[in-house]
Structure 1
Amino acid sequence: MKKPQLLRDHLARACPDLATNPEKLTVFIERGNILHTGTPALSFEYRYTVNIVITDWADSTDVLIVPLVAWLKQHQPDLFDNPERRTKGFRFESEIIDHKTADIGIEIDLSESVAVMGETVDGVNRLTTRHIGEPLLATPGQVETAVDLAAEWRIVPIDGA
């Protein structure tokens, strides 16, 4: 599975506090399953819930959510396109620690398609796998721009807020 590490790397780039303090960011998988259609091919799909736990977070949750939405639009667009997945596939909870910090848990339902192909190398039959990327909703330049903007986004307090 590749998406959990990609997601972790993206959050660390987007949130300098997580890059400076990587111990505050934990990413793990639970409730995973494998989907195979029963055809002769060996290709399959991972389906799982990735859990992201951020501890001692002292900033707005918006600083976490905006980069996550940008990442998901590129790497898991069906999460927003499908009405049922849109309402149930991206969840969070927060434990308020004190007047400055909170622990935040985020759960996201992800999937990854894996193509399994046979090939012969030097007379030996081998199986290779290739993770199939998600379709892009925009041109590559537009997606990169959206991700870059999210990664650079910061909250600016408004006087009196």
Structure 2
Amino acid sequence: MKKLHLLRQRLIGAVPSLARDPDRLLTFVEEGSIEFRRGRNLSHEYQYAAQLVLTDFGDDLDTVMVPLLQWLAEYQPDAEPGEAVSFEAEILSNRSVDLALRVRLTERVIAKVDCEAGTIRVDRALPRFELDACPVTQHWQLLIRDTNTDDDYTLASEWGEVDSDGG
């Protein structure tokens, strides 16, 4: 479940309230299964629903959704758009919710059997797909504005690496 760890790291790095208190992000695996073929080949694929629960969440919902969708575009680009992410929320107050996200993930494992040597070599295939729109950008700022106002955009969060030139 390497992808779930990567997704968790992305959200902690991108969502300001999670960066301050990462223990407010709980992660679980539900409905896990393994797809494989019979025979000598032991390659297989993990398929599971990752559940991410953000407790006492008071930020704008897009501070979570935008980095999550960006991560899916990089690590799970074959996800069905209508089924890739679902969510539920429990309203705690006028300012906070408990937010539960469910994300469908797959991970391929290539297991090569060498009968003569008596070995099985396992490679975990976690391909990362470059974002076509901005392949060189490594640092992101999320700017949010209410379309019903003439207010300027507000910086909601930042994530990613800053290059050596400080940009």
Per the normalisation by structure 2, the TM-score is: 0.78
Name the structure 1 match of 2:165: none
**Relative to total residues, which structure has the larger strand share, 1 or 2?**
2
Name the structure 2 match of 1:30: 30
Counterpart of 1:90 in structure 2: which amino acid?
A: V
Name the structure 2 match of 1:73: 73
Name the structure 2 match of 1:10: 10
Cα distance in 1 between the residues matched to 2:128 and 2:6: 16
Counterpart of 1:102 in structure 2: which amino acid?
A: V
Cα distance in 1 between the residues matched to 2:113 and 2:145: 53
Runs of 4+ in 1 over 6 A off after TM superposition: none
Name the structure 2 match of 1:148: 139
Change (3 A) 1:154 1:129: farther
* 8 Å contact kept, 2:10–2:71: yes
Per the normalisation by structure 1, the TM-score is: 0.81
Cα distance in 2 between the residues matched to 1:115 and 1:92: 32
Matches within 5 A, 1:37-56: 37-56=37-56
Change (3 A) 1:31 1:73: same
* 8 Å contact kept, 2:89–2:100: yes
1:39 positional shift: 4.1
Report SS of the residue matched to 2:103: strand
Name the structure 2 match of 1:21: 21
Deviates most, 34-43 or 67-76: 34-43
Q: Does 1:100 align with 2:89?
A: no
Cα distance in 2 between the residues matched to 1:130 and 1:30: 24
1:11 positional shift: 0.3
Name the structure 1 match of 2:119: 126
* 8 Å contact kept, 1:63–1:154: no
Structure 1 unmatched ranges of 5 or more: 80-84
Structure 2 unmatched ranges of 5 or more: 152-167
Name the structure 2 match of 1:82: none
